[in-house]
């Protein structure tokens, strides 16, 4: 038997050290990664089922919520939640209160899907927006099944302030909903990432061409969100090598090292990167970008992608990260920190239920 504070495997003890992250103190270094699930119903209002799911996982050092659309235009996934109506704020309030009651901490991830949407989701069936009018290979998940992505239209220069304002409004609503902070979703082939990477950004104005120009949209959004709340309540997520949503960049090391350096000016709560370890299904070939980003960024650094307890602790011990985000392990193991602490066996996740709309595969995984 291990006592509440001891760890069965001393090799992973660094996962259980507390850490000050921006304005909040984390009780352990295990972060619940943002996980798109699709349980918010057609109205996209956070509900009791979601409250149960997040409360079950409140022992994470920090929960980063599933990606949450900042506007109707930002939607691109069946039954994902929003943060652009008062009803959605009220739904989230119940969730943050329940998580806090368990001693947990929770950030809201701010999401605009950009071209990774479909007219099916858009107001009046309009064409989705992006950095450039370049269609992504792949499909949108709709109520009527998968629908192939369409060619988006490039955001006009005159529209960019409106989109930035949507991030500001969502940040204010996240504050009102009782979150501990927000994470700007600039990863995985969604709108901000579409501006950052040159495979999807062929603009010739101030938001395209050079790395500095391609980062401009991210920088302006981050500046606006930080001003709206506070730098110690804001994180950013990037995915330098993730090909998801048909994404690529001609020089990811240069692009994302410069992004990490540029973000230093905001004194953020953290920088969170998805770069899967070798052998993981999302792993990319070639030199890893994360170590360059770690060196360039002055603040708290979160890694994500294929880590277990031992690999996660090693990343902290070797100064490759300060925190480790776990995705699939948290889906299947609501009490993941306790299981790691006591060296207990893990539940196996069922991928066939990841994006369904029922409690099965969501709130029915057993705790120890």
CA distance 253 to 213: 16
Query: Which residues in the chain belong to E strands, given as ranges?
Result: 19-21, 24-26, 30-32, 62-69, 106-111, 129-130, 139-142, 145-148, 153-154, 181-185, 234-238, 270-274, 301-304, 323-326
> Per the structure block, which two tokens stand in for 310?
């031992």
Of 83, 3, 98, residue with least CA distance to 44? 83
CA distance 318 to 304: 15
> Per the structure block, which two tokens stand in for 308?
């277990």
CA distance 340 to 192: 35
Task: Tell me the β-bridge partners of 69.
Answer: 82, 111
Of 267, 368, 298, 362, residue with least CA distance to 39? 362
Of 347, 340, 279, residue with least CA distance to 310? 340
Is-contact 179 104, C-beta < 8 A?
A: no
Residue 78: CB atoms within 10 A of its CB come to 22
Ramachandran angles phi, psi of 321, nearest 5°: -160, 160
Q: Exposure of 222 by Cβ count < 10 A (0-12 exposed, 13-18 middle, 19+ buried)? A: buried
CA distance 278 to 281: 8
307 is catalytic: no
Name the DSSP class of 265.
Answer: G
CA distance 134 to 289: 25
> Per the structure block, which two tokens stand in for 187?
């990863």
Ramachandran angles phi, psi of 187, nearest 5°: -125, 180
> Per the structure block, which two tokens stand in for 89?
């704020």
Which residue among the candidates 141, 190, 270, 340 is catalytic per the annotation? Answer: 190
Active site residues: 190
């Amino acid at each position: 038997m291990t006592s509440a504070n001891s760890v069965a495997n001393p090799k992973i003890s660094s996962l259980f050290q507390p850490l000050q992250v921006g304005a909040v103190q984390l009780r352990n270094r295990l972060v619940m990664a943002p996980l798109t699930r699709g349980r918010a119903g057609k109205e996209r209002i956070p509900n009791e089922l979601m409250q149960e799911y997040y409360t079950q996982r409140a022992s994470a050092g920090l929960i980063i919520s599933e990606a949450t659309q900042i506007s109707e235009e930002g939607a691109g996934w069946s039954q994902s939640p929003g943060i652009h109506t008062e009803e959605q704020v009220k739904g989230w309030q119940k969730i943050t209160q329940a998580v806090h009651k368990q001693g947990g901490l929770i950030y809201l991830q701010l999401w605009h899907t950009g071209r990774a949407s479909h007219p099916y989701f858009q107001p009046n069936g309009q064409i989705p927006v992006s950095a450039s009018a370049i269609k992504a290979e792949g499909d949108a998940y709709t109520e009527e099944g998968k629908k192939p992505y369409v060619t988006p239209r490039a955001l006009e220069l005159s529209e960019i302030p409106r989109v930035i304002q949507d991030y500001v409004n969502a940040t204010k609503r996240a504050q009102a909903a009782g979150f501990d902070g927000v994470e700007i979703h600039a990863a995985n082939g969604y709108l901000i990432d579409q501006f950052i990477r040159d495979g999807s950004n062929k603009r010739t104005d101030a938001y395209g061409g050079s790395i500095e120009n391609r980062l401009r949209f991210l920088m302006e959004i981050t500046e606006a969100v930080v001003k709206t709340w506070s730098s110690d309540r804001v994180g950013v997520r990037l995915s330098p090598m993730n090909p998801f949503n048909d994404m690529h960049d001609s020089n990811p090391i240069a692009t994302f090292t410069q992004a990490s350096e540029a973000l230093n000016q905001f004194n953020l709560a953290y920088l969170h990167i998805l770069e899967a370890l070798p052998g993981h299904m999302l792993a990319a070939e070639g030199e890893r970008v994360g170590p360059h980003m770690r060196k360039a960024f002055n603040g708290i650094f979160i890694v994500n992608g294929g880590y277990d307890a031992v690999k996660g602790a090693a990343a902290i011990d070797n100064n490759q990260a300060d925190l480790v985000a776990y995705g699939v392990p948290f889906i299947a193991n609501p009490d993941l920190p306790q299981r790691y602490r006591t060296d207990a066996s893990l539940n196996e996740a069922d991928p066939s239920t990841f994006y369904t709309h029922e409690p099965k595969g969501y709130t029915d995984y057993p705790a120890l």
